[in-house]
Amino acid sequence: MKREYIRPLIRKLESGMMNKFGQSPLYARKVTTHIDGVAVDDLVKEFGSPLFVFSEKTLREKYRETYSSFSTRYPNVAFGWSYKTNYLKAICAIFHQEGAMAELVSQMEYEKAKDLGIPGDQIILNGPHKPMETLETVLADGVTVNLDHFDEIYDLEKVADKLGKKLTVGMRLNMNTGIYPQWSRFGMNLESGQAMDAVKRMAKGGKLALGGLHCHIGTFILEPKAYAREVEKMIQFAYRVEEEFGFEIEYLDLGGGFPSKIRLKGTYLSPDVGIPSLDEYAEEICEALWKNLKPNHFPKLILESGRALIDDAGSLITTIWASKRLPDGTRAYVADAGINLLFTSFWYKFDVALDRPASGPNETSVVYGPMCMNIDAIDEGTLLPPLSRGTRLIFTPVGAYNNTQWLQFIEYRPNVVLVGEDGRVEVIREAEDLTDVARRERLPDRLRVYPKSRPTASRTG
Ligand SMILES: Cc1ncc(COP(=O)(O)O)c(C=O)c1O
């Protein structure tokens, strides 16, 4: 058989210089043949490629480790699992089994939590969009509601009238903790006096009591001291509110935002070096609590950590479908998973491992997905050895936000499996097929092309 002609190309051997912070470039020579003891090959044979794989062991270990970082430093701690980070039923169920409450931001998420049987007193509802019907339902169910804006105060007063009782709710704050850009679009601003105005308005209305404070300063916060500032400001505000209005602040909810060990695009340091440990966050937060709270006063500390609890537990297996040489000489691969499945690849650079050793010189490569779209690249700039068709790449950590932000776009979404602590593999979300895509669609009969619809009897005929 005549072999295809490939134009010879001379390229500099890329042995990998250190960057200006003394870090090596990103190589993908790591070989991952198993995930939690299960062969990647077996996983793909049984469940197909691409495939999301979650480790139950990692999920539980991470939760316990993080919980104990806080509970060993402060006596009254609760975690609320941030549904938006990953609301697959099995994932939520694992965190609930571990003792987490549900932290929700929509009616849909509330319905998901109720579907799992979560009682109202184990639910926190945040977010800027809480329709009246949602507020009525959740408040009758005993859910903790953190209000976001003035219009919600008026809505809550109407709900109080309807339910015929005074309602205790929390308030989301936003504040300057030295983090740039400051998240100011959610909640009431502290420094401008807006938050205090809101408390005054609640007191004056007489239908609402303030029972807790919430603040989520942002996501992937790399400065633990920002949380110490948040705690200090929240406590000062809580004591002012208690003194001036007689409300009792029973909880301080610090939101989420702790980073996972993932590389944010554009950062030089590897996550192992550049990302503080969760213990450092716990230390800053709990020290600030002890320093600023009155003696023997221990309001509940609530944490809504999302990505830090789950990211490490998720892997995505994808298969090299084709390789190409771009006109500028860049080595490119087409994989069967793209931004449709790894939405967070816009911001994060994942670790890429191969399922088998590969020999040959490294080349700076780009891994495209299967979308017929120019922006569909899930890895750019990693030094990859020559990869043959069928090689599997294992992307980690991908547990956070990808199974909620993924798109049903061009391709079906694949299976998601959970590797149990005993090594058993179970499907926790089935791969989609046409029924999922078409279920809600309606085709008016007059638009049917094949088989041709018969014209309906004419009015005059
Ligand atoms: C109110 C609230 N809580 C918790 C989280 C979880 O954040 P993270 O995944 O950064 O921990 C978010 C994420 O945006 C949020 O908006």
Please state the domain extents for the chain: 34-53+312-433, 56-310
Bond before 455 cis per omega within 30 degrees: no
Report the candidate in 271, 280, 254 with the shortest Cα–Cα distance to residue 82. Answer: 254
Which atom number of ligand 1 is nearest to the Cα of residue 126? 1
Which atom number of ligand 1 is nearest to the Cα of residue 85? 9
Q: What is the dihedral of CA 281, 282, 288, 294, to 10 degrees?
A: 160
CB atoms within 10 A of CB 143: 23
Q: What is the pLDDT of residues 7-42, one digit of tens each?
A: 677 776 666 666 666 666 677 679 999 999 999 999
The alpha carbon dihedral of 285, 305, 81, 125 has a sign of: positive
Residue located nearest, by CA, to atom 9 of ligand 1 = 306
Q: In sequence order, which residues have a C-beta less than 8 Å from that of residue 47 and are 6 or more positions away?
A: 414, 415, 417, 425, 427, 431
Contact 406, 367 (CB under 8 A): no
Ligand 1 contacts CB of residue 126 (under 6 A): yes
Residue tagged 């600023």 (tokens):
292
Which atom number of ligand 1 is nearest to the Cα of residue 219? 10
Query: pTM value?
Result: 0.94
Q: What is the pLDDT of residues 119-154, one digit of tens each?
A: 999 999 999 999 999 999 999 999 999 999 999 999
Residues of the chain where predicted confidence (pLDDT) is lower than 50: 460-461
Q: Which two tokens stand for residue 388?
A: 């043959």
Q: What is the pLDDT of residues 62-112, one digit of tens each?
A: 999 999 999 999 999 999 999 999 999 999 999 999 999 999 999 999 999
CATH number listed for the domain at residues 34-53+312-433: 2.40.37.10
Task: Tell me how far CA of residue 17 lies from CA of 20, 24, 28, 315, 330, in angstroms.
Answer: 9, 6, 15, 29, 18
- 8-state DSSP, 191: T
Q: What is the dihedral of CA 106, 107, 112, 114, to 10 degrees?
A: 120
Secondary structure percentages of the chain, helix, strand, coil, to 5: 30, 25, 45
The predicted structure's pLDDT at residue 13: 66
Ligand 1 contacts CB of residue 307 (under 6 A): yes
Ligand 1 contacts CB of residue 216 (under 6 A): yes
How far is 406 from 344, CA to CA, in rounded Å?
Answer: 9
Average pLDDT, the chain: 94
Say if domain 56-310 classifies as CATH 3.20.20.10: yes
Ligand 1 contacts CB of residue 85 (under 6 A): yes
Q: In sequence order, which residues have a C-beta less than 8 Å from that of residue 213 and are 6 or more positions away?
A: 170, 171, 173, 234, 237, 238, 249, 251, 252, 253
To test the ligand 1 pocket, which listed residue (130, 219, 403) has its Cβ within 8 A of the most ligand atoms?
A: 219
Q: Which two tokens stand for residue 244?
A: 């001036």
The predicted structure's pLDDT at residue 461: 41
